Amino acid sequence: MTNTTTLAPESPPDQHRGSSAALSHRQILTILSGLLLGIFLAALDQNIVGVAIVRIANSLHGFDEQAWATTAYLITATISTPLYGKLADIYGRKPWYLLAIGVFVLGSIACTFATSMYQLAGFRAIQGLGAGGLMSLAFTIIGDLVPPRESVRYQGYFMIVFGGATVLGPVLGGFFSGLDLLWGLEGWRWVFLVNVPIGLLALLVVARVLNVPHLRQDHRVDWFGALLLSIAVVPLLIVAEQGRAWGWRSDRALLCYGVALAGLVLFLLAEYVMKDAALIPLRLFRSSTFSVAIAGGTILGVAMFGAIVLVPLYFQVVRGYSPTKSGLLMLPLVLGIMVGGQAAGMVTKYTGRYKMMPIAGCFVIAGGAALFGRVHYDSPVLHSLLYQAVIGAGLGACMQTLILAAQNAGPRSDMGVSTAAATFFRQMGGTLGVAVFLTVLFNLLPHKIIAAFGGAPPPGFAAEHLDQLQRNTAGITELPAQLKIPVLTGFTDAISAVFYVAAAVAALAGVVLLFMRELPLQGEAPAAEFGTAVAEFTQEPVALEHSLSGSIRHEDGRPVPDAALTLIDKRGRQVSRGSGDGRGRYTIDAPENGSYVLIVSAHGHQPTAISVVAGPWPQHLDLTLMGAGQVSGTVRSAASGNPLQGATVTLTDPHGEVVGAAVTTEAGVYSCHGVVSGAYTMVAVADHMRPAAATLTVSDSGLHHDITLDPMAVLAGTAWAEGRSVPDVQIMLLDGGGDLTATAHTDDAGRYLVPDLPEGEYTVVARGYPPVTSRVTVTGGRATHDIRLGYGFEQQARGQ
């Protein structure tokens, strides 16, 4: 297996995690600015459209169809997320990130000129196709550029931008939707048009500064899996958006459940068949770390998006603030995310541990949600600001760390699909959370309002008034005080109950994450000036000028001990050698600046060759070796079927070099370990058995091959003279070419035995006076051939 990886600062690696030692903090921030612009695009659009959608629907005469504009965007964004991850792993990150931005911008321009809600829904679907790659590919690229210890620090900026868009979106949405005309266009159309300059700037920055070399993987794109995933997910998203209007147990909802279940079963079957080419490879879930991180992230997504929706709902409905002011009042949430994200980044950077942060973050979210549940309709605003800051701190501490856990649990070649899978399941959890929490809220609302009236609504306040308040909360401010206060109390109590549900869900996510196995993260190599002192105390490999250092790991994250490393120049000459230690760490020095090829091999793993560039600085490079399979089976006798102990099995490559050998156990079992995929010749040899050879093709997962050996033929008989057996007669066997094959002597009873004979025709010679010759054909098993001796032996017998 041969990869190409350039470690120069201008060309950060794509197939492995790079190092901020190779890229300066300023360079990373420059690249990060383009990624953040892309994330800002997607996050801002969701929030700005949410505020303006009522004005848009009224302008396009489709108030009762407004939900489809949101649903169309959500469907395409969710479905395309894992597809972007797979395509980026195969073809590279940069082109697909640029494509995602471009598609999003084109969709935004199209939305600007929509003339009906159906057109708007279609154009929003185009926007969603672009949005699906913005978030997941940004996380993937930052994982490529910096080592795991640093990645949380940079990924924390993403949540800050996401939170900032949550604040700025309602402000801009309220501003634009409130304008009748702006430069000849209706005000609400600028809700979409504002994405264009931001998107063009993001395209320019990403195209200019993002340089991520990529070695194309020889995988197919699982388009059929993408189709089946759509069948599984789209009905659930439709129910999530329309369920409250349809009824969760309506015929349409039940039909969607059935279609989704069928699609899920078919999708899992297709992914099992596609294996490495799968859209979401099922082998990723073999890692308990990945599986638990995905499960915890999904549950946390339910709590996170549900809580974020409820906070502005409290400000707008209960406190009566405008969307613009309620957006500004969510600034503490953004500050909390900033503090929590930076704290998580610092802890991960300096300790190399990450499991504690998402667990603590989940329980902090649970505590903040529970505190927010105690807020009353007339509580000081300061309380709600403080409590949402607590929620934000929890979100910042755990969301990006879970992305890191998912990335770190899988092989580097799958970073795109692992990141996309984590993002995909979190979005699914968030969509489910919003739907469930709003359903709980509106189911509780009538009962809470009636309870606030003391158990019976006042005269003139009938059930239809409750229904009207749920559809349009703007009328609450116009109610008289004797009605307004109980209604606000009921709304607050219903929102509080939902916050308690969100707290329970966040706590559940924390409990699930307690079972996540923490795989070690690798940080930067020690600086050259401190290398000697560090080595004395820590026994770490020392990173010197022109040196490469890092760790060598198996694809499942386990260290590969005692690996052999060879550095060669462009002419194939060896310039340096090294070896890894028992924990998979290594350091190898280059003689000078330049391009080299690093060859790494270890027992039981496929060797790899990687192009590297050594510069006047120590560089950190983590390597992943794919595990080699084993060839095993049982050797048996063809005659009896019994296992053969002590048989020798030898494996040679196409050049005749021996690559593996084993001796069978008492049960006849053999096993040749560390066999890489390819074609081999196997030879089995055992005593008294005919050797057997076979051509085998070994896959990455190894091969089971049983061997059956035929027994060698045995020639036996008796030497006779005048009716008596003759002892100590020399018997010689000559093959068809006249060459001596075997010799034997008769025993005291005149019997002889020649074992281990290949099949064929032989000449039997008994030395006598004169010698006696005869011919015999051996076809397998035991052959009997008696010999009649001549005159010399008869005279000798009488003389005796």
Cβ contact 521:370 at 8 Å = no
Q: In whole angstroms, what separates CA 752 from the centre of its chain? A: 69
Predicted local confidence at residue 100, as pLDDT: 93
CATH number at residue 134: 1.20.1250.20
Range 288-316 average pLDDT: 86
> Where a domain ends, among 709, 724, 744?
709
Predicted local confidence at residue 521, as pLDDT: 67
Q: Domain containing 170: what range?
A: 18-215
210: its two tokens? 């993002």
The pLDDT tens digits of the residues spanning 213-240 come to: 554 555 567 788 888 888 888 888 888 7
> Where a domain ends, among 154, 182, 215?
215
Report the number of distinct structural domains present in the chain: 4
Share the mean pLDDT of the chain. Answer: 80
The pLDDT tens digits of the residues spanning 438-465 come to: 788 888 888 888 888 887 766 656 555 5
Amino acid present at 176 = F
CATH number at residue 688: 2.60.40.10
Tokens 């699909």, residue located: 417
Q: Do residues 43 and 177 both lie within one domain?
A: yes
Cβ contact 126:106 at 8 Å = yes
Q: Do residues 39 and 138 both lie within one domain?
A: yes
Burial classification of residue 533, based on how many CB atoms lie within 10 Å of its CB (0-12 exposed, 13-18 middle, 19 or more buried): exposed
Q: Do residues 100 and 207 both lie within one domain?
A: yes
pLDDT level of residue 799 (50, 70, 90 thresholds): very low
In a domain, 47, yes or no: yes
Burial classification of residue 455, based on how many CB atoms lie within 10 Å of its CB (0-12 exposed, 13-18 middle, 19 or more buried): exposed
DSSP code at position 759 = S
Cβ contact 18:144 at 8 Å = yes
In angstroms, the CA 7 to CA 93 distance is: 17
Q: Do residues 572 and 652 both lie within one domain?
A: no
Evaluate if residue 757 carries a pLDDT over 50.
yes
Report CA dihedral (577, 582, 585, 589) to the nearest 10 degrees: -20
Range 106-111 average pLDDT: 94
Handedness of CA 131, 134, 136, 137 (dihedral sign): positive
Q: Do residues 582 and 640 both lie within one domain?
A: no
The pLDDT tens digits of the residues spanning 523-547 come to: 443 333 333 333 333 334 433 445 7
Predicted local confidence at residue 543, as pLDDT: 39
In a domain, 762, yes or no: yes
Amino acid present at 776 = V
3-state secondary structure of 15: coil
In a domain, 764, yes or no: yes
63: its two tokens? 């108030």
657 φ, ψ (degrees, to nearest 5): -80, 135
Range 347-361 average pLDDT: 87
pLDDT level of residue 522 (50, 70, 90 thresholds): very low
In a domain, 95, yes or no: yes
Q: Do residues 97 and 182 both lie within one domain?
A: yes
132: its two tokens? 């699906």
More confident residue, 56 or 541: 56
Range 646-672 average pLDDT: 87
pLDDT level of residue 23 (50, 70, 90 thresholds): low
More confident residue, 148 or 293: 293
Q: Do residues 86 and 204 both lie within one domain?
A: yes
DSSP of 239-291: HHHHHHHH-TTSHHHHHHHHHHHHHHHHHHHHHHHHGGG-SS-GGGGGSHHHH
652 φ, ψ (degrees, to nearest 5): -125, 150
The number of residues making up the chain comes to 800
In a domain, 233, yes or no: no
Predicted local confidence at residue 212, as pLDDT: 59
Handedness of CA 207, 211, 212, 218 (dihedral sign): positive
**In angstroms, what CA-CA distances link 260 with 236, 297, 773?**
7, 21, 85
Residue 477, number of CB atoms within 10 A of its CB: 9
In a domain, 681, yes or no: yes
Predicted local confidence at residue 539, as pLDDT: 39
Q: Do residues 150 and 51 both lie within one domain?
A: yes
Range 666-681 average pLDDT: 84
Evaluate if residue 155 carries a pLDDT over 80.
no
Q: Name the strands in the sheet holding 648-652, side by side, starting at the edge strand that comes first in the sequence.
A: 658-663, 648-652, 678-685, 692-698
> Where a domain ends, among 165, 199, 215?
215
Q: Do residues 639 and 690 both lie within one domain?
A: yes
Q: Do residues 618 and 636 both lie within one domain?
A: no
Q: Do residues 730 and 692 both lie within one domain?
A: no
In a domain, 267, yes or no: no
Q: How big is the chain by its Cα radius of gyration, in Å?
A: 38
Contacts of 542 (CB under 8 A, 6+ apart): 526, 531, 532, 534, 535, 549, 587
In a domain, 258, yes or no: no
Predicted local confidence at residue 529, as pLDDT: 33
170: its two tokens? 């309602």
In angstroms, the CA 222 to CA 261 distance is: 20
436: its two tokens? 């469930």
Q: Do residues 790 and 675 both lie within one domain?
A: no
Percent of all residues in the chain with a pLDDT value above 70, rounded to a whole number? 84
Helix ranges, 281-380 (H) = 288-313, 323-328, 331-351, 356-372
